[in-house]
Amino acid sequence: MKSDKQICGRTARLNGYKAEDKAVLFLEKNGYKILERNFRPPKKNGAGEIDIIALKNNILAFIEVKYRITLEYAAESVTKKIQTRQIKAAEYFLSLYPELLENEIHMDVILISHKNDIQHLENAFFCF
């Protein structure tokens, strides 16, 4: 029998995947080309998973998707630790595809609420 913690964890993951799907549709509708989803650098380098990597014009966006009850709670969940791990993952990705460095690099966040409100924070935190 599964514990309450396991059930909650599975539900959170499923909600996260659904939110990422909504974010991809939102981005495509707004002219972005999705290059990669759920990019994972090798373990033990301190980098986190990047939910979506997308390109629009000359902007290469590394995008963290956050789903919470409200947009405010979603925004508060983008901690300094998450930002640092995202930056390390983006640096690793760019080391694999240096030709993409010719683009302007953005670290974006897409917030999605329980009511399906979506807010795209472009260049939400700076690193490049």
What integer is the mean pLDDT of 73-95? 95
What integer is the mean pLDDT of 77-98? 95
Cβ of 32: how many Cβ atoms within 10 Å? 22
**Residue 6 confidence (pLDDT) above 60:** no
| Band of residue 46 on the pLDDT scale cut at 50, 70, 90 | confident
* Domains of the chain and CATH, by start: 4-121 (3.40.1350.10)
Which token pair is 99? Answer: 């030709």
Q: pTM value?
A: 0.89
Residue range 102-118, pLDDT digits in tens: 999 999 999 999 999 99
Higher pLDDT, 6 or 103: 103
Torsion sign, CA atoms 100, 125, 26, 7: positive
Percent of the chain at pLDDT > 70 equals: 91
**What does residue 63 show for φ and ψ, rounded to 5 degrees?**
-120, 125
